Amino acid sequence: MPAVSSSGPLRHDWSRAEIETLLALPLPELLHRAGDAHRANFDPSEVQVSTLLSVKTGGCPEDCAYCPQAQRYHTGVEATKLMDTDAVVEKARQAKAAGASRFCMGAAWRSPKDRDIPKVADMIREVKALGLETCATLGMLSGEQATALKAAGLDYYNHNLDTAPEFYGEIIQTREFQDRLDTLGHVRDAGMKTCCGGIVGMGESRSQRAGLLQMLANLPAHPDSVPINRLVQVEGTPLHGTTELDPFEFVRTIAAARIMMPASMVRLSAGREAMSDELQALCFLAGANSIFYGEKLLTTGNPDTERDLALFERLGLKPMPVVETGAFESTKTVHADIVDTSPPCFEAA
């Protein structure tokens, strides 16, 4: 397979066999190619920092096999009402003071009711006024809801594909894979950026991981942010007890995502709490350049701020700077043909 050109157009025609060949490369060669793609688009010493707040936790009617917020599973997660705007804004202020440039608000809904949209819109306007990028993950959206959120100033919407289409039914049966694609289409049509990735380590094969990457890279526009989640096994969910994914396989997935979507932010998301500093360092070498920051990632743990700052210092990394509008700005110039069109995910983020 030829090396990816840093100057050529972004591809949306990846084949499954091509991706499987990429994933099977000797790890040093795979990391070298991913590093080239990373440097062509970003300063590799910069990491974009986001904070994710659960503004409405638990009670979700879906059956996602990994999710402790599903009301049908007994995981100890209590359902809560939607937070007040003032409380959300205070959390956003704290996140900005800790160095976050993007603030994501997640609600455990299958899809928001129309009456919920004005409340979320108020949160978006107030958080954006702090100079932060705004992101939300609220489940499936209609076209009208996406338009209303865009009008409120929402920058990004997160909606993950989760896994390959042929493995999807093993994990979720309460919504179709096409439903996810439809929501992404509504978000793009509304003019918002998308954050869209998936979860690995759910018992899928390498070919099925390749299938997830294929679906992501072959979307009409690459997701602006691509969260790669490592399954957090929560007692009470059907996936508790699943054989853990080999750490090097996780690194390979990060590297392939960077090569295939070279100008997207590739985010280390759920599962970081259980990762050693050495594994995280390998992921940064593989092209990851975004993390969620803070003590909690929705309802599962996340490395605390002090540990993250200490790791950044040891590795010579620094938070990606924020421009006046609240958007991150890399010191590298990204491909001119990039179209920003993808959302962030609440199921894992």
Show which residues are catalytic: 60, 64, 67, 104, 135, 195, 267
CA distance 22 to 206: 11
**φ and ψ at 222, to 5 degrees?**
-60, 140
CA distance 84 to 184: 27
Asked if 114 and 148 count as a contact pair (C-beta separation under 8 A), the reply is no
Structure tokens at 25: 């490369």
CA distance 347 to 141: 15
Asked if 120 and 112 count as a contact pair (C-beta separation under 8 A), the reply is yes
Dihedral, CA of residue 12, residue 261, residue 197 and residue 212, to nearest 10? 50
Name the burial class of residue 199, with classes exposed (0-12), middle (13-18) and buried (19+) by CB atoms within 10 angstroms of its CB. buried
Q: Which residues of 223-255 are buried (b: 16+ CB within 10 A; e: fewer)?
A: bbbbbbbbbbbbeebbbbebeebebeebbbbbb
**φ and ψ at 301, to 5 degrees?**
-65, 160
